[in-house]
Protein backbone atom coordinates (compact mmCIF):
# COMPACT_ATOMS: atom_id res chain seq x y z
CA UNK A 1 0.00 0.00 0.00
CA UNK A 2 1.26 3.49 -0.90
CA UNK A 3 0.81 6.53 1.35
CA UNK A 4 0.98 10.19 0.43
CA UNK A 5 0.82 12.39 3.49
CA UNK A 6 -1.31 15.51 3.05
CA UNK A 7 -2.24 16.59 6.58
CA UNK A 8 -3.47 20.03 5.47
CA UNK A 9 -6.46 18.37 3.72
CA UNK A 10 -8.01 17.34 7.04
CA UNK A 11 -9.33 20.89 7.43
CA UNK A 12 -11.32 20.44 4.24
CA UNK A 13 -12.46 16.91 5.09
CA UNK A 14 -13.65 17.67 8.62
CA UNK A 15 -14.40 21.36 8.26
CA UNK A 16 -17.73 22.94 7.45
CA UNK A 17 -18.69 23.03 3.78
CA UNK A 18 -19.81 26.35 2.36
CA UNK A 19 -23.54 26.86 1.85
CA UNK A 20 -22.85 29.41 -0.84
CA UNK A 21 -20.82 29.48 -4.04
CA UNK A 22 -17.07 29.59 -3.32
CA UNK A 23 -16.64 32.11 -6.15
CA UNK A 24 -19.27 34.60 -4.99
CA UNK A 25 -17.40 37.30 -3.08
CA UNK A 26 -18.79 39.78 -0.63
CA UNK A 27 -17.48 43.33 -0.41
CA UNK A 28 -15.48 42.25 2.68
CA UNK A 29 -11.90 42.61 1.46
CA UNK A 30 -10.59 41.84 4.96
CA UNK A 31 -10.96 38.12 4.15
CA UNK A 32 -9.17 38.26 0.78
CA UNK A 33 -5.95 36.65 2.06
CA UNK A 34 -7.92 33.88 3.78
CA UNK A 35 -9.95 33.28 0.61
CA UNK A 36 -6.78 33.58 -1.55
CA UNK A 37 -8.18 36.49 -3.57
CA UNK A 38 -5.24 38.07 -5.39
CA UNK A 39 -6.99 40.89 -7.20
CA UNK A 40 -10.43 42.54 -7.44
CA UNK A 41 -11.32 44.35 -10.63
CA UNK A 42 -14.57 46.13 -11.50
CA UNK A 43 -16.29 43.11 -13.10
CA UNK A 44 -13.95 40.17 -12.43
CA UNK A 45 -11.36 38.97 -9.93
CA UNK A 46 -8.35 36.65 -9.57
CA UNK A 47 -8.24 33.90 -6.95
CA UNK A 48 -5.86 31.04 -6.22
CA UNK A 49 -7.11 27.48 -6.46
CA UNK A 50 -7.17 26.04 -2.94
CA UNK A 51 -6.71 22.52 -4.38
CA UNK A 52 -4.30 23.24 -7.25
CA UNK A 53 -3.25 21.02 -10.13
CA UNK A 54 0.19 22.60 -10.01
CA UNK A 55 2.01 25.28 -8.03
CA UNK A 56 0.69 28.73 -9.00
CA UNK A 57 -2.73 27.49 -10.21
CA UNK A 58 -4.95 30.58 -10.30
CA UNK A 59 -8.43 31.34 -11.60
CA UNK A 60 -10.15 34.35 -13.13
CA UNK A 61 -13.88 34.74 -12.40
CA UNK A 62 -16.53 37.31 -13.17
CA UNK A 63 -18.30 38.61 -10.07
CA UNK A 64 -21.71 37.75 -11.48
CA UNK A 65 -22.93 34.25 -10.67
CA UNK A 66 -23.40 32.74 -14.12
CA UNK A 67 -22.50 29.48 -15.81
CA UNK A 68 -22.32 30.25 -19.52
CA UNK A 69 -19.97 32.32 -21.65
CA UNK A 70 -22.94 33.54 -23.64
CA UNK A 71 -24.36 35.16 -20.49
CA UNK A 72 -21.32 37.42 -20.02
CA UNK A 73 -21.93 41.05 -20.86
CA UNK A 74 -19.36 42.57 -23.20
CA UNK A 75 -17.61 44.56 -20.44
CA UNK A 76 -17.40 41.44 -18.23
CA UNK A 77 -16.00 39.35 -21.08
CA UNK A 78 -13.36 41.97 -21.88
CA UNK A 79 -12.23 42.44 -18.29
CA UNK A 80 -12.16 38.68 -17.68
CA UNK A 81 -10.01 38.06 -20.75
CA UNK A 82 -7.79 41.04 -19.90
CA UNK A 83 -7.17 39.42 -16.50
CA UNK A 84 -6.45 36.04 -18.09
CA UNK A 85 -3.85 37.78 -20.26
CA UNK A 86 -2.37 39.73 -17.33
CA UNK A 87 -2.23 36.59 -15.14
CA UNK A 88 -0.49 34.68 -17.90
CA UNK A 89 2.26 37.30 -17.96
CA UNK A 90 2.57 37.24 -14.17
CA UNK A 91 2.89 33.44 -14.09
CA UNK A 92 5.63 33.51 -16.75
CA UNK A 93 7.47 36.28 -14.92
CA UNK A 94 7.26 34.86 -11.41
CA UNK A 95 7.51 31.12 -11.97
CA UNK A 96 9.60 31.13 -15.15
CA UNK A 97 7.25 28.42 -16.39
CA UNK A 98 7.67 26.96 -19.86
CA UNK A 99 3.96 26.94 -20.64
CA UNK A 100 0.52 27.59 -19.18
CA UNK A 101 -2.68 25.60 -19.47
CA UNK A 102 -5.64 27.98 -19.72
CA UNK A 103 -8.93 26.18 -19.35
CA UNK A 104 -12.65 26.66 -18.94
CA UNK A 105 -14.97 23.74 -18.23
CA UNK A 106 -18.58 24.53 -19.07
CA UNK A 107 -21.09 22.04 -17.69
CA UNK A 108 -20.87 18.70 -15.92
CA UNK A 109 -20.14 16.76 -19.12
CA UNK A 110 -17.10 19.00 -19.72
CA UNK A 111 -15.72 18.27 -16.24
CA UNK A 112 -16.72 21.45 -14.43
CA UNK A 113 -16.30 20.85 -10.70
CA UNK A 114 -18.18 24.05 -9.87
CA UNK A 115 -20.63 24.40 -12.75
CA UNK A 116 -22.68 27.24 -11.31
CA UNK A 117 -20.04 29.98 -11.52
CA UNK A 118 -17.92 30.49 -14.63
CA UNK A 119 -14.16 30.53 -14.00
CA UNK A 120 -10.99 30.26 -16.09
CA UNK A 121 -8.08 28.15 -14.81
CA UNK A 122 -4.45 29.14 -15.42
CA UNK A 123 -1.96 26.40 -14.54
CA UNK A 124 1.80 26.98 -14.93
CA UNK A 125 3.63 24.07 -16.58
CA UNK A 126 7.27 23.02 -16.91
CA UNK A 127 8.81 20.42 -19.18
CA UNK A 128 8.92 17.21 -17.16
CA UNK A 129 6.59 18.43 -14.41
CA UNK A 130 4.55 15.26 -14.86
CA UNK A 131 6.97 13.05 -13.00
CA UNK A 132 6.61 9.32 -12.47
CA UNK A 133 4.35 10.04 -9.47
CA UNK A 134 1.79 11.83 -11.63
CA UNK A 135 2.03 9.32 -14.46
CA UNK A 136 1.94 6.15 -12.34
CA UNK A 137 -0.35 7.18 -9.50
CA UNK A 138 -2.20 10.29 -10.68
CA UNK A 139 -0.55 12.32 -7.91
CA UNK A 140 1.09 15.74 -8.11
CA UNK A 141 3.65 17.14 -5.72
CA UNK A 142 3.37 20.77 -4.68
CA UNK A 143 6.74 22.44 -3.95
CA UNK A 144 5.39 25.43 -2.02
CA UNK A 145 2.68 26.14 0.56
CA UNK A 146 -0.37 28.02 -0.75
CA UNK A 147 0.17 30.90 1.66
CA UNK A 148 3.74 31.42 0.41
CA UNK A 149 2.59 31.37 -3.22
CA UNK A 150 -0.23 33.79 -2.36
CA UNK A 151 2.18 36.26 -0.73
CA UNK A 152 4.54 36.08 -3.71
CA UNK A 153 1.82 36.55 -6.34
CA UNK A 154 -0.13 39.24 -4.45
CA UNK A 155 2.71 41.68 -5.03
CA UNK A 156 2.11 41.58 -8.80
CA UNK A 157 -1.38 42.98 -8.39
Q: What angle do CA 51, 56, 58 make, to 5 degrees?
A: 70
**Chain centroid to CA 27:** 20
Q: State the catalytic residues.
A: 119
> How far apart are alpha carbons 21 and 75 in whole angstroms?
23
Amino acid sequence: MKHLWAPWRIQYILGPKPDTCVFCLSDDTDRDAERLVLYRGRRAFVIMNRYPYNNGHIMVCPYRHLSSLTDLEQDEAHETMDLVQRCSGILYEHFHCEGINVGLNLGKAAGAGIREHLHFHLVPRWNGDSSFIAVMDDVRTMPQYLEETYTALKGYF
